[in-house]
Amino acid sequence: MGLKTELVILGAGPAGYEAAIHAAQCGMQVVLIEKDQVGGTCLNRGCIPTKSLLYQAHQLRIAAQYAKIEIDGEALRLQKEDTVGKLQKGIAQLIKGNSIQFLHGEAKITGPQTVSVNDEIIEAEHILIATGSRTSVPPIPGIELAMTSDQVLQWDRPLPQQAVIIGAGVIGLEFADLLLDLGVGVTLLEAAPRPLIQADREIAQNLQMILKRRGAQLHCGITITQIHENAVDYVEKEKPMRAEGEWIIAATGRKPVLCDCAPALAQERGRLITDACGRTSVPTIYAAGDVTSRIQLAHLASAQAINAVDTMLGRTPQFDLNCVPSCLYTHPEAAWVGLSEEEAQAQGLSVIVGKTTTLSNSKSMIEQAPRGFVKLIADAVTRQLVGGVIAGAHASDWIGTVAQAVSQHLTIDDCQRVIMAHPTWSEALHEALMDFDQHAIHTLYKRTK
């Protein structure tokens, strides 16, 4: 007779392990299955190793202003792996401490309420698929010669003098920032008309200016025709071009990893279709994270998974999945949430904007940070905040304040009443809020008599 439980989760990435802990905290019996390592893409091949390398490289660049620095690639790799290892151990302790049964193996869903793993059948009231994603590359001749993000993050080869990065989205821009800080020449090739096409246009313009100032070459609206071992051929404005580099990096996104599932589940373009609570087309089977999402973010994956568990328990899901912050960890950072100005207008809203730069911000001056800005978008009729954009140092740390305001449907007036500490970056949020009414203290307005 096989094992019986209330919930089986496939995948121990952010969606899977956080759903397991939440379910266990709520009294559910949970079996968590992982074929690789706990932490999923985010911890092992994505967010954490990337940010570890970005932080170290930036510190080296700052130190290099005062003394000659020798780049030690092995030291960078060891620090990255130490960070990942500590977080893995922490997750493992949480799984054990919450009495979650952890099984290592590749699982198959054999029925609406049965899972097979390591020749054992598990019966469960609910199944949650959280199998994540893997790197995706476009069908370009020679693409097999390019490095994927997974290969870059292994960090097991000598640094190049030149690198060509295919794709100027979040992954491509973060790799460009990392390599530029380490003294590598970078060429970015992007098929879209501008970098970071999914974000506010002003973020892209700001980043484009900073990247060029740092020596990067950026070519948008191009078509790649052939990838060679140390070069990429492309067409720009109908003119054949070539970019050369010892590293050719394909930063072209990720695609869902679908598990073997006997009940056929509804799909769309390779991802599982779910309702707002995470249910698939089979009511006892749920899915969350990259395997379902057009937006592949660890924090969204966790929120989706916890909402799914709440639904299984008959509770009201706790997270607002319509308000998801996105972050770019370049130097300076960028972050955005809710509707952009263009999206709000496309939805028929009458839009008003409050905006400020960080040039007069005391914390910005103290840290000698590059120029940044805050832009808040509101409905002109209700004065409710519908979106926000931050470009500047530590943007990822204070976008949550904007996300909370947008999610709670707060108005400009609600938010204007909040006192921000001084000196802090968040003071720029208050300046942008006051700018809606031309009352920002550190902005000089033209007054009419």
DSSP state of 297: -
- Pull the structure tokens for residue 350: 């009458």
Nearest to 390, CA basis, from 437, 441, 449, 327: 327
**Beta partners for 244?**
231
394 is catalytic: no
- Which segments of 269-370 are extended strands (E)? 271-272, 285-287, 326-328, 334-338, 351-357
Give the number of other CB atoms < 10 A from CB of residue 311.
Answer: 18
Catalytic-role residue among 22, 219, 299, 422: 422
What whole-number distance in Å separates Cα of residue 449 and Cα of residue 447?
6
Do residues 328 and 174 make contact, with C-beta atoms less than 8 angstroms apart?
yes
- Helix/strand/coil percentages in the chain, nearest 5: 35, 25, 40
Tokens for 323?
Answer: 């308000």
Q: Which H or E run includes 103?
A: strand 101-104
Count of all residues that appear for the chain in the document:
449
- 3 state SS for 244-261: ECCEEEECCCEEECCCEE
DSSP H/E element including 169: none
Distance (Å, rounded) from C-alpha 259 to C-alpha 193?
Answer: 35
Query: How far is residue 115's CA from residue 103's CA, in Å, rounded to a whole number?
Result: 12
Q: Which amino acid is at 78?
A: L
- Closest C-alpha to 41, from 66, 63, 16: 16
CA triple 63-68-73, angle to 5 deg: 75
Question: What are φ and ψ of residue 382, in 5° steps?
Answer: -95, -15
Contact status, residue 304 vs residue 289, Cβ threshold 8 Å? yes
Please tell me whether the peptide bond between 423 and the residue prior to it is cis, using omega within 30 degrees of 0.
Answer: yes
Give me the amino acid identity at 135. T
List of residues 6+ apart from 174 with CB closer than 8 A = 50, 54, 328, 329, 330
Sheet of 385-391, strands arranged across: 326-328, 334-338, 385-391, 373-379, 351-357
CA–CA dist 303, 310 (Å, integer): 11
Q: Which residues are catalytic?
A: 422
